[in-house]
Structure 1
């Protein structure tokens, strides 16, 4: 993980927003919390102390837990279809709006 360039110039300052989520990203708050924590503890201690904030930021970027939950729901639906619990139109019924 690289936090700052080796050589700093006006060009690196101008293009720094391209590799962060501060301009248009959905993970702005998580990134700022993590960067603030790193600023307080420094890079070496911050990697240990700010591990949970980094995990939240990483989840926001990658959505791995959301995808695992989706795959588990799909597997359960496929299992119910294979067992015959869901038949016909019940196979394709969407969840209720407040079920999330």
Structure 2
């Protein structure tokens, strides 16, 4: 994580181009990124990696969506199990959820 936050060689060009790689434009992870950067600014990079672990984990989850993918795979595995056991047959195999079920 430290290698992605602080460049190996600091030059004026790295300061100018450092804002190009950010989630502030896209909006999906902008809140988590700002919380992480505020925490890292308060504690510094070395101490911040320990103190800001919860913000780092939240930001990584927003980027990678590992929990959402694990939930999707668990639902798919359960549907395949029900199809294999014969619980879901015919037209009920691949029914999409109702619109208001979320």
TM range (shorter): 0.7 to 0.9
Q: Aligned to 1:92, what secondary structure does the other structure show?
A: coil
Structure 1: runs of 5+ lacking an equivalent: none
Aligned equivalent of 2:41? 39
Conservation of the 8 A alpha-carbon contact between 1:30 and 1:57: yes
Unaligned runs of 5+ in 2: none
Other-structure match for 2:64: 62
Find 2:54's aligned residue among 52, 56, 62: 52
Task: After superposition, give the CA deviation of every residue in 1:43-100 in whole Å (9 maximum; x if it has no partner).
Answer: 1221111111111100010011100000000000000000100011101111122333
Relative to the length of structure 2, the TM-score reads 0.86
Deviation at 1:19, TM superposition (A): 1.9
- Number of residue pairs aligned between Structure 1 and Structure 2: 99
Q: TM-score, normalised by structure 1?
A: 0.88
State how far apart, in whole Å, the 1-side matches of 2:74 and 2:90 are.
22
The match for 1:80 is: 82
CA-based RMSD: 1.5
Separation (CA, whole Å) in 2 of partners of 1:22 and 1:8: 23
